[in-house]
Chain A
Amino acid sequence: MTVIETKGLRKSFRSPLKKPGVSGAVRHLFRPEYREIVAVMDVDLSIEAGESVAYVGPNGAGKSTTIKMLTGILLPSGGAIRVNGLHPYQERMRNSKNIGVVFGQRTQLWWDIPVIESFTLLRDIYEVPEKTYRENLAYFTEMLGLEEILHQSARRLSLGQRMRADLAVALMHNPAILFLDEPTIGLDVAVKERIREFLKAVNRERSVTILLTSHDLGDIEDVCRRLIIIDTGRIIYDGSIQGLLDRYVKERSIRVTAGVKIDPAGAARALPAGVEIAGAGEREMTIRFDRFRYTARTVLEIIMQTVDVVDFQLEEPDIERVVKNVYEGRLELSDDED
């Protein structure tokens, strides 16, 4: 069943155009100019129940704008949109009962009251049945380690503690979909780990559909099975993470350590096309090769003919680098790539 569906989704903003300085300001008073900024353009999404999807893109790509449209905060400028079968903006209150949202930089908690009080207030707001509330509270307290923070007010919590509480809040009413916007931003490694485990458990055990935006590609690799990349308002990739690597990562690397000083020039001469030296030190060398043409073993055998290899390390294709290349425009992701 498709829980999130959009077709041709669009959002644009009007922004004033001003020349600098006092004269520019005065001129704007009498003859204002505006320009239209398109934040999201022609986005098609189709997400099934139970999926866990990563929504990735550089800053300003339109990620948050999309999420805000899906959660009913922003009114789309154009296109069709359906979440849980409803139009999220027009049927906002009905839709809000089916979704949970975590914004990395904002909290759902009330600032001045103990966390547990925020929970009960929200329980009343979402009309969660008492039994469900107590079960969920016990489950989240255990999974997220909330015991020590339940009776503290939100203003005294560290970022990691606040984030865990916000996760509990988002899921207290058993929503079908969980939206997360930069949930691990600013968190230390241990907390990130814990949150990722939690998200996986929730996705697995409770079939909660997850849509996650993050700059931390570790989050994405760990939690999500599907990756959507958006850049300047358009979707440029939609598929599995492995698929991305398979398609666009042509190369792998081997790093070899030699017993004696390396002669890079000599080694290079022996290399066939599609294999090249990426870097060389006194006793180390990194070789990059086209993984569709050669296996690691073949390349190693070739190298060993000219280099006295005593140790080697195989480097796995790295999604971080791929996405980085996409952001920097070095990798054009277009459909005719096959």
Chain B
Amino acid sequence: MNSLKKYVRHVLCAIQETTAYRASYFINIVSQFVSYIAIFFLWKAVFMAQPDIGGMAWKDMQGYLLISLFASALISGSSEFRVSRAIWTGNIAVELVRPVDYQKANFAITVGNGIAEGVLVAAIGLVFAVLIGFTAPPENPVTWLYFLLALAFSFITKFLIVYIFGLFTFWTTGGMGISWFRRGITDFFSGAIIPLSFFPAWLKTVSDILPFRGIVSVPATIFIGQMPESQILVTFAVEIAWIAGLWYIARLIWHFAMRKVTIHGG
């Protein structure tokens, strides 16, 4: 239990760190919403021209986009750049000497970030929902349960993906480029901008195999009630498998990174 306390401390520190600079804190949150406004209007215009696309109506799409926004905003850029920044500045040496598991510590910090930012994002999201006239949250409490579970998986999966890409900084110096690449892949294959159900069959198969859909598509689809229970359970099983897999892949990459550091003296 002592070691758990260590990580709880990380969470608390992260909350403080995230809110340390007021202006940045508020702006970071607002900026999450901005990119979604463009997508929102685009789809609105599309649905006005064609009311039913791929089995979704506009009200479904609204819910979908809302969850997409929320899920993406939970882990924001501050988590993304922490690892790569530590590596780039060499500060990581300090972090490595601490008697904590680096991966777990990072997760704890991300949770802290998520709490600090998630609260505000949820609040603004609620306002946003009202503004766009969204009136169809799920009525079934079981759906809500599945939804919350899906969100938890989404959080963990996204953390692992961001973390793994962050570790790539050990091997390459392309700061923004790597980040844009990760965002691009994640946004595309998670269904953040286009629901995966719109994909042509072959592309859909690819995205079903990859872990990204757990980040947006799964919670969003559950939320708008378009995933039957049997499918939910299978999907969750796959997600858990991916989370376990990614966790260990991350450790493996970490292992290689440490070897590189000790050989080259970072």
Are chains A and B touching in the complex at the 8 Å CB cutoff? yes
8 A Cβ contacts from A11-25 to B: 18, 21-22, 24-25
Residue total for B at the interface (Cβ-Cβ under 8 A): 7
Among listed A26-34, A44-52, A209-217, A262-270, interface-contacting one: A26-34
**In the bound complex, CA of A131 to CA of B253 (Å):** 54
Query: 0/1 per residue, B4-24, Cβ < 8 Å to A?
Result: 000000001001100110100
Does residue B25 face the partner (Cβ distance < 8 Å to A)? yes
When the two chains form their complex, are residues B22 and A32 in contact, meaning their CB atoms are under 8 A apart? yes
When the two chains form their complex, are residues A29 and B25 in contact, meaning their CB atoms are under 8 A apart? yes
Q: Which residues of B contact A18 (CB under 8 A)?
A: 20
CB distance from A158 to the nearest CB of B (A): 14
**In the bound complex, CA of A195 to CA of B36 (Å):** 59
Q: Which residues of A contact B16 (CB under 8 A)?
A: 21-22, 24-25
**In the bound complex, CA of A26 to CA of B25 (Å):** 11
**In the bound complex, CA of A26 to CA of B20 (Å):** 9
**In the bound complex, CA of A32 to CA of B12 (Å):** 20
Complex partner residue of B22 from A21, A22, A28, CB under 8 angstroms: A28
Q: Which residues of B contact A29 (CB under 8 A)?
A: 19, 22, 25
Q: Which residues of A contact B19 (CB under 8 A)?
A: 25-26, 28-29
Q: Which residues of B contact A21 (CB under 8 A)?
A: 12, 16
> Is chain B's binding surface mostly helix, strand, loop or mixed?
helix
Query: 0/1 per residue, B33-44, Cβ < 8 Å to A?
Result: 000000000000
**In the bound complex, CA of A21 to CA of B19 (Å):** 11
Q: Which residues of A contact B15 (CB under 8 A)?
A: 22, 25
**In the bound complex, CA of A135 to CA of B178 (Å):** 45
Q: Which residues of A contact B20 (CB under 8 A)?
A: 18, 25, 28
Q: Which residues of B contact A32 (CB under 8 A)?
A: 22
Query: 0/1 per residue, B100-144, Cβ < 8 Å to A?
Result: 000000000000000000000000000000000000000000000
Q: Which residues of A contact B22 (CB under 8 A)?
A: 28-29, 32
Q: Which residues of B contact A28 (CB under 8 A)?
A: 19-20, 22
Specify the chain A residue showing the minimal Cβ separation from B17: A25
CB distance from A34 to the nearest CB of B (A): 11
Q: Which residues of B contact A22 (CB under 8 A)?
A: 12, 15-16
**In the bound complex, CA of A24 to CA of B25 (Å):** 15
CB distance from B203 to the nearest CB of A (A): 41
CB distance from B15 to the nearest CB of A (A): 5
Specify the chain A residue showing the minimal Cβ separation from B115: A22
CB distance from A288 to the nearest CB of B (A): 46
**In the bound complex, CA of A24 to CA of B15 (Å):** 11
**In the bound complex, CA of A28 to CA of B20 (Å):** 8
* Most chain A CB neighbours (cut-off 10 Å) among B12, B15, B19, B25: B19
Specify the chain B residue showing the minimal Cβ separation from A27: B19
**In the bound complex, CA of A6 to CA of B5 (Å):** 55
8 A Cβ contacts from B138-155 to A: none
CB distance from A168 to the nearest CB of B (A): 26
A-B contact pairs, 13 of them (CB 8 A): A21-B12, A21-B16, A22-B12, A24-B16, A25-B15, A25-B16, A25-B19, A25-B20, A26-B19, A28-B19, A28-B22, A29-B22, A32-B22
Query: Contact residues of B with A, CB < 8 Å?
Result: 12, 15-16, 19-20, 22, 25
A-B pairs, 3 with minimum CB distance: A25-B16, A25-B19, A22-B15
Known A25-B15, A26-B19, A28-B20; further 4 A-B contacts with Cβ < 8 A? A21-B12, A24-B16, A28-B19, A32-B22
